[in-house]
């Protein structure tokens, strides 16, 4: 799927474990994106069957699918959840500014602002490569840990920013995870102007709950 990047962009990012979505669902997602891109290029209208596919495999529907806790969910293991959270925190202030994050049992949400010269794909690759290697070592397993693809949205408006932060912080509760530790926000009730490129909100320990 295509990703649109902007220097100093504020992004809402989701990446998930390799087994969090069954292959048929992944194939439908790829087909959905292919249809959208083709329609966008030629300005064509979608057929009824295509509209059904688009609605069934929209980002919102996929999020709800992942919140069911499908797959082995190794991120339920505090060792692995902390590993991922610490990886997110590692480059805060040097490659990006963290605004909010949530490590769910089978996926991760991050809102962050890229710093000058940074590429989103490279940031994601550093998170996923390191955590996959270390998580497999801790769990005594091998093979693919993360799904190759990820989802990102460039946040442009304050209302969109507020909704994204609220979504990240409320994700555990929506998924029925009471007392979930792996969720954090830099600024409660912040706006896009409260987290500018040159700000540096303090990042607490990964286990600090909201």
Prediction pTM value: 0.73
- pLDDT of res. 200: 39
- pLDDT of res. 148: 84
Domain ranges in the chain are 1-20+73-190, 21-68
Kindly report the number of other CB atoms within 10 A of residue 101's CB atom.
25
- pLDDT of res. 142: 95
Strand partners, 151: 14
- Which residues lie below 8 Å from residue 142, measured CB to CB, with a gap of 6+? 136
Which residue bears the tokens 């805060």?
92
- pLDDT of res. 43: 74
Torsional sign, CA 174, 178, 182, 188: positive
Q: What is the pLDDT along the chain (210 residues), one digit of tens a residue?
A: 444 444 568 999 999 999 876 666 666 666 666 666 677 677 777 777 666 655 555 556 666 656 666 789 999 999 999 999 999 999 999 999 999 999 999 999 999 999 999 999 999 999 999 999 999 999 999 999 998 878 788 898 888 899 999 999 999 998 999 999 999 998 654 444 334 333 333 444 444 333
Give dist(CA 61, CA 83) in Å, integer.
28
The order of strands in the sheet holding 183-185 is: 146-154, 10-17, 107-114, 96-103, 183-185
- pLDDT of res. 44: 73
Per CATH, which fold does 1-20+73-190 belong to? Alpha-Beta Plaits (3.30.70)
Give dist(CA 45, CA 69) in Å, integer.
35
- 122 within 8 A of 110, measured Cβ to Cβ: no
- pLDDT of res. 48: 73
- pLDDT of res. 154: 87
51, 56, 61, 62 alpha-carbon torsion, rounded to 10°: -110
At residue 196, the 3 state secondary structure works out as coil
- pLDDT of res. 38: 72
- pLDDT of res. 206: 43
């Amino acid at each position: 799927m295509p990703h649109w990047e902007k220097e100093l962009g504020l992004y809402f990012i989701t990446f998930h474990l390799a087994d969090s979505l069954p292959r048929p669902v992944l194939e439908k997602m790829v087909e959905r994106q292919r249809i959208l891109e083709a329609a966008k290029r030629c300005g064509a209208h979608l057929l009824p069957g295509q509209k059904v596919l688009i609605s069934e495999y929209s980002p919102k529907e996929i999020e709800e699918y992942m919140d069911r806790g499908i797959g082995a969910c190794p991120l339920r293991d505090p060792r692995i959840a902390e590993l991922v959270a610490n990886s997110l925190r590692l480059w805060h202030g040097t490659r990006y500014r963290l605004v909010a994050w949530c490590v769910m049992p089978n996926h991760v949400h991050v809102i962050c602002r890229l710093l000058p010269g940074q590429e989103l794909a490279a940031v994601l690759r550093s998170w996923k490569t390191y955590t996959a290697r270390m998580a497999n070592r801790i769990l005594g397993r091998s093979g693919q840990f993360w799904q190759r693809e990820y989802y990102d949205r460039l946040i442009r408006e304050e209302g969109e920013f507020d909704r994204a932060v609220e979504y990240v912080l409320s994700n555990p509760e929506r998924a029925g995870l009471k007392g979930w530790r792996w969720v954090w926000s830099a600024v409660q009730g912040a706006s896009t102007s409260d987290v500018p490129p040159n700000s540096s909100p303090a990042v607490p320990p990964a286990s600090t709950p909201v």
